[in-house]
Chain A
Amino acid sequence: MQTDAVVSGIPFAAIAMIVWIAAVMLCVGLGFILSYHWYRYSLHKSTASLALTVYSVISAIILFALFAAGISLPL
């Protein structure tokens, strides 16, 4: 089928990896900015540490899932 040929001709995995790398960079950049605010302006530094830990863990889980989904796409 023509649709199959068009779909199978797209380098899904390559595009997914580019998107994934952009997502990682965005995640790290946002993490730096948020951590700066949390550590500078929060009343309790322990809250800032907790927020950073939660942010890092959940971001890592989502990024891992994104990577797993991306890598399973055909090249």
Chain B
Amino acid sequence: MSTLVDLQPGETVSTVIRKHWFIFFQEISAILLGCVLILGTAGFVVGVLWHSGQIASILSTVVTFGAILGLLVCWFMLAIVWTNYYLDMWIVTNHRIFSIDQIGLFGRKVTSIALDNIQEITVVNNGFFGAVFGYGTVAIHTAGAGRANVYMEGIAQPEILHTHILEHMERLRQLEQITEKQESLLHSISHEVKSHLTKSQAAFASIVEGDFGEVPTPLKSIASTALSDTKQGVDTVMDILDASNFKKGTLEIKQERFDFKTALLKIVEEFKPIAAEKKLDLEVIVADGSYEVIGDDQKMRRHVLRNLIDNAIRYTPKGSVRVELTHNDEMIECAVHDNGVGITPEDMEHLFTEGGKGANSTKVNAQSTGYGLFVAKTIIDAHHGNIWAESEGAGNGAHFYVQLPLAKV
């Protein structure tokens, strides 16, 4: 099926439809008639000429040769018509309808329409032969700017297909409603959990910072660990909430001028103790120049820079993490290099997708939600920038790059 159409993850083929056999018969009837005429005429001419002397005998052989040549041409035409008939098809999946049209020997047209984009489906029964042989046309019209119409002409039992497509559309609609409800529920739960975690975070911070006076060392140690875990929990919930807000279209991105270099150095400073604890070298190289960009300083630090550096440290058991900041006349580029566990080509495919956790992420970081890089990409996209990753595979480290447009002076 992959050579015919590209299916999305979770998309399954439900029906493959071809034209009714009578349509093929109609298309080849002219060719068959041509064959009969050629053979009949040749037979008659040869019959008349056969016993009329040597020259007539030669002419009858020429006629026979010509008739066979005519048959060969008819055979070629038959093969081409059959190919067009056999390769013309419609594929109905649980998300889309593909119309594949073989045009002659060299043309091929593949049209796809999403089921949730269908505005109207019409069934037309075609005349006498359609009624006798039970074939007809299903016309599918879509809505929206990129509107496309698909005409499934000459298909057997069009009413059944019509019902089948409607069932798929209904199932898709129900699935969308369920997903919407689940996302809404996830959003509410995340909000609740975040408010509880924030309160716990404040309480643990008070104990650690000595707001309740001197506390026993074991209690301080436990509170310190709890504070760190709670912070992690708040970050995770915030990632999920931001992803949810983005999907709902309620994520707000400020448009203020800020210094990317200052934001980066602040985050690197924050991570230096963590890197030192893991005995990793955390190195920053910043080229001279201005790094002012327009956007949301807080979201850039929280969701992009913190995420990239945190991941680099987390997925590097030993070695180093190097952060480089450079720019040209129009863009700044921030690169985070590590020599950690690396990214396999399979993981690379869904690295920036929602919930896209790699195989290593679950081994090295059990708390990974798979939302971090998805949110980071969302933020970068909202800043009209680019984010991408490179890796030579498992065990060969990873390189993450962020490009952002420089603020105009």
Residues of A within 8 A of B (CB): 3-4, 7-8, 12, 16, 19, 23, 26-27, 30, 33-34, 37-38, 40-43, 47, 51, 55, 58-59, 62-63, 65-66, 69-70, 72-74
Contacts and interface: CB of A to CB of B under 8 A. Distances in A.
B129 interface: no
Contacts of A59: 72, 75
B102 interface: yes
Interface string B177-200: 000000000000000000000000
A12 B58 contact: yes
Contact of B102 (A3, A19, A41): A41
Contacts, number: 76
B215 interface: no
Which A-B residue pairs are the 10 nearest by beta carbons? Answer: A69-B65, A66-B68, A62-B72, A69-B64, A65-B68, A4-B55, A41-B87, A7-B55, A73-B61, A33-B105
Given A8-B55, A58-B75, A66-B69, 14 more contacts: A7-B55, A7-B59, A12-B62, A16-B65, A19-B65, A23-B69, A33-B106, A34-B105, A37-B83, A42-B86, A43-B89, A69-B64, A72-B61, A74-B58
B4 interface: yes
Contact of B72 (A8, A12, A66): A66
Given A34-B83, A69-B64, A73-B62, A41 B72 contact: no
26 contacts: A7-B55, A12-B62, A27-B72, A27-B76, A30-B79, A30-B80, A33-B106, A34-B80, A34-B83, A37-B87, A37-B105, A41-B3, A41-B4, A41-B87, A41-B108, A42-B87, A43-B1, A55-B79, A59-B75, A62-B75, A66-B69, A66-B72, A69-B68, A72-B61, A73-B62, A74-B58
Interface in B81-114: 82-83, 86-87, 89, 100, 102, 105-106, 108
A34 B75 CA distance: 13
Contact of A19 (B61, B69, B105, B106): B69
B16 interface: yes
A74 B59 CA distance: 11
Classify the interface of chain A: helix, strand, loop or mixed: helix
Contacts of A8: 55, 58
Contacts of B89: 43
Interface in B1-27: 1, 3-4, 16
A30 B72 CA distance: 12
A73 to B, nearest CB: 5
B32 interface: no
Contact of A40 (B3, B55, B58, B72): B3
B39 interface: no
Nearest to A58: B75
Contacts of A41: 3-4, 87, 100, 102, 108
Interface residues of B, number: 30
Nearest to B16: A43
Contacts of B82: 51
Contacts of B80: 30, 34
Given A69-B64, A72-B61, A26 B69 contact: no
B71 interface: yes
A70 B65 contact: yes
Contacts of A34: 79-80, 83, 105
Contacts of A23: 69, 72
Nearest to B108: A41
A7 B76 contact: no
Contacts of A16: 65
Contacts of B59: 7
Contacts of B100: 41
A63 B68 CA distance: 8
Nearest to A6: B55
A19 B100 CA distance: 37
Contacts of B61: 12, 69, 72-73
Given A43-B4, A69-B64, A72-B61, A30 B69 contact: no
